[in-house]
């Protein structure tokens, strides 16, 4: 009979996400992770496999959470343009918190297929939600009709990464808000 887990897996994973967000994969030692997660080495291996598998699970969980937050912001208003505004504002307001998605892309690019798959799936979900809302904003008369919704979605996702990288580089809140405001102007 297997031994019962003596820790909450989700809580441990959230702690690992915090370490990876701050230090990246290479900068996060196993000891740092174990301390933050409040688990032993064997529990890490039994539950997550190894540091790389933990990292991939952390990126997957983080990407899912971020996608859900973007979609919730989009659906937070009856007018699509207001939902788009809320999503962009959320990115700028939270940009001072390191983004594990952007960090993992900066650290690894496309060198690991498992990360590429995670990022591609999240990108697809977020891009579809944005392009759907751009179409709705066009229908509601709040966005230019000559814009391609798919291209707008790609621009928005790239802009979000840019805002987060600018924040990581020390941009001030007013600068981040200006970047967000300019992104929204692309729809007007």
- pLDDT attached to residue 186: 83
- pLDDT attached to residue 5: 59
Residue 175 C-alpha from the chain's centroid: 20
- Which one-letter DSSP state was computed for residue 68? H
- pLDDT attached to residue 36: 96
Coil, strand or helix at 21: helix
- DSSP H helices, the chain, are 9-23, 30-37, 41-48, 51-74, 80-94, 100-108, 113-139, 149-168, 173-185
How far, in Å, are 19, 29, 123, 144, 150 from residue 36 at the CA level? 7, 11, 29, 48, 40
CA distance 39 to 91: 32
CA distance 123 to 53: 21
Per-position pLDDT tens, the chain of length 188: 455 457 889 999 999 999 999 999 999 999 999 999 999 999 999 999 999 999 999 999 999 999 999 999 999 999 999 999 999 999 999 999 999 999 999 999 999 999 999 999 999 999 999 999 999 999 999 999 999 999 999 999 999 999 999 999 999 999 999 999 999 888 87
Coil, strand or helix at 169: coil
- pLDDT attached to residue 117: 96
- pLDDT attached to residue 167: 95
In the numeric block, which tokens belong to residue 41? Answer: 């080495």
**Residues 12 and 41: beta-carbon distance below 8 Å:** no
């Amino acid at each position: 009979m297997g031994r019962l887990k003596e820790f909450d897996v989700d809580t441990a994973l959230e702690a690992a996400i915090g370490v990876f967000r701050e230090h990246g994969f290479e900068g996060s030692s196993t000891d740092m992770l174990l301390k933050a997660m409040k688990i032993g080495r064997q529990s890490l291996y039994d539950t997550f496999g190894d540091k790389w598998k933990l990292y991939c699970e952390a990126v997957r969980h983080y990407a899912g959470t971020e996608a859900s937050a973007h979609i919730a912001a989009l659906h937070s208003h009856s007018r699509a343009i207001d939902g788009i505004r809320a999503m962009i504002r959320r990115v700028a307001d939270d940009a001072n918190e390191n983004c594990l998605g952007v960090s993992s892309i900066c650290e690894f690019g496309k060198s690991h297929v498992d990360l590429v798959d995670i990022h591609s799936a999240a990108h697809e979900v977020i891009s579809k939600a944005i392009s759907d809302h751009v179409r709705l904003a066009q229908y509601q008369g709040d966005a230019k009709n000559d814009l391609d919704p798919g291209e707008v979605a790609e621009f928005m996702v790239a802009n979000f990464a840019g805002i987060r990288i600018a924040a990581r580089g020390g941009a001030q809140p007013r600068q981040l808000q200006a970047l967000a405001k300019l992104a929204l102007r692309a729809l007007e």
